[in-house]
Structures are given as C-alpha cells and as structure tokens.
Amino acid sequence: MSRETASKDNPILIVTACASIDEAEKIANTLVQEKLVACAQIQGEMTSIYEWNGKAEMSKEIPLHLKTTSEHWDAVKRKISFLHSYEVPEIIALPILEISPEYHQWILGNVKKLVQA
C-alpha cells in the first residue's frame, strides 16, 4: 500500500538510533507525553558501522522503537529531528502489516487526533 493510499489510522513502527540512553529517554518521554506515539521501546546498546564524511566510523548507539499511526509520521519525524543530537538522524517508518485488533485499538486510543489543515 502506498503512503498516498494509506489510512491515517494505519499502525506504523518508527525506528531511530540515539547517541545515549539519556537522549533516547528524552525523545521517548516527549513523544509519549505529547501523545504522538502510543509506546516507545528503548533497546540495549548496539554497535553501528557506517561512513560519515568519507570516513568509516564505528559508534555505540541506543535503538528506539516507536509505535504510532501514519497520521503522526510527519509530526514524529519533526520532533525527533528537533530533539536529536545527530546532524542526520536515522528516522525510518515501517508499516505494520499484521496487528491484533486489540493492540491496534490501544494505539489509536493513546495517540491524539491531529488537526488536518
């Protein structure tokens, strides 16, 4: 299903990686408190290997998984970009293809409805 035809209530998983546990907690708490995501899961430390400015890098990062709806993608992306310490943070949305109806309703009940312009 393309983003254009996706329902605003479709559940999505947003993934980012943070420089520290403090940063992950700040982003997670802000997004949950503002009801932009229903749930934030902070994972254990991982090692990332990547190229940055023409040089191979290796760093420790904290994965952050966020459950929300398609309607909240733009707002969550903006908020992560604002709060994140990286110049180019990873912000990826994955469609949730299968979900229990009860959990989907829980997500819908824990995110605010956004006013459409």
Q: What type of residue is 90?
A: E
Rounded CA gap, 90 and 33, in Å? 22
**Which letter does DSSP use for residue 31 in this model?**
H
| 21-33 per-position pLDDT tens digit | 999 999 999 999 9
Mean confidence (pLDDT) of the chain: 93
| pLDDT of 2 | 40
Rounded CA gap, 30 and 25, in Å? 8
Angle formed at CA 78 by CA 117 and CA 97, multiple of 5 degrees? 85
Contact 44, 5 (CB under 8 A): no
CATH topology of domain 11-109: Alpha-Beta Plaits (3.30.70)
Rounded CA gap, 64 and 43, in Å? 6
Rounded CA gap, 59 and 8, in Å? 35
**Predicted structure pTM score:** 0.90
Query: Which are the contacts of 44, defined by CB distance < 8 A and separation ≥ 6?
Result: 62, 63
Mean pLDDT for the stretch of residues 70-86: 97
Q: Tell me the three state secondary structure of residue 36.
A: coil
